[in-house]
Structure 1
Amino acid sequence: MKENYSMASISRMHGLGKNTIYRIFNENIHIPDRFYHLSSVISIDEFKATSDKGTYAFNIVDPITGKTLDIIEDRKASFLRNYFLRFPFHERKK
């Protein structure tokens, strides 16, 4: 995983299925959670996504810069609550 290869090309190189490569990757690679400071203004939108968590994902954008801050796997209130509660209270209060 030090080189820039797609999961499909890795599966072809090793004669394994893509799902096996995804499983090996998810079991052995830890990606730290991203932490962004919340802007005083955010735009939100949902879109149809292919995810194990849900049918629709949730997009958070800084409307001033136009940059996507994060994409949450599901639009359900429990996912959104857990996402925003990881920010300190003073960040959420903005």
Structure 2
Amino acid sequence: MNAVLQCLSNTDLFAEFLGLEQYKEGEAEGEEGVTDSPVPSPPGAQDRGEVTEQLAKLLRSLWTLEYNPQHSRDFKTIVIKDALQYRGTSQHDAQEFLLLGF
């Protein structure tokens, strides 16, 4: 997880996208009809924004030099909600984490 987060945080466009909260622009425009979809959402779909929010907070804290270990714990707590294999401190494959697709 750490390797992926380091790579993402040093990918300029991605870090800027999250750091400047550009991912929220679709919300501001009022994406109508999203909640009325006839297709059922996958489990945890309503919480997907939590991962993005926590990742954005983590990246902002790294880039503004306001990082503390609690930011990492908060992010991991959100990830574990939908990916129980990340409980504990065992090592995992970086590509598997990246491809989780929260």
TM over 0.5: no
Give 1 or 2 for the bigger CA radius of gyration.
1
Indicate the structure with greater strand content.
1
Shorter-chain TM band: under 0.3
Larger RCO: 1 or 2 (CA < 8 Å, sep 6+): 2
Indicate the structure with greater helix content.
2
